[in-house]
Amino acid sequence: VRVENFRVIKEFGSRFRYRLLISFRSDKQTPDFRGRFQLAISYLNAGKVFQLMLPDRQESGIDYQLEIKSILRREGVFELPAGAVLQGAEVRVLQGDTLKSKRLAQL
């Protein structure tokens, strides 16, 4: 499984949209990939660096589940606190607790 493309685009204010393209090369033993993805977003607010993890503990994480046969596109939005400046974003593809792929965002 590979993250082919990951972009983060500012919409308005402190709201951002992410777009993600994940590919999977199947074989006879594993016809599809089942796992989840996670976003790690770092931002600067009041002179300090913070990190936001999505899904967080309050979210169910259903929107972050993956089932891929060949190619999967996902997009969504996240919001930072008012006045925060986005520093970077990384997507991680996990199967159980095993990291399978990761990629830094194009900002």
Nearest alpha carbon to residue 72 among 24, 11, 105, 6: 24
Give the whole-angstrom CA distance, residue 84 versus residue 48.
Answer: 10
Look at residue 59 in the predicted model and tell me its pLDDT: 64
6 pLDDT band, cuts 50/70/90, is very high
CA 79 to the chain's CA centroid? 14
Look at residue 75 in the predicted model and tell me its pLDDT: 94
Percent of the chain at pLDDT exceeding 90: 74
Give me the mean pLDDT over the 22-35 stretch. 87
Q: Note the pTM of the prediction, 2 decimals.
A: 0.87
Cα R_g (the chain), whole angstroms:
15
Give the whole-angstrom CA distance, residue 75 versus residue 59.
Answer: 17
60 pLDDT band, cuts 50/70/90, is low
Q: What is the DSSP letter of 61?
A: -
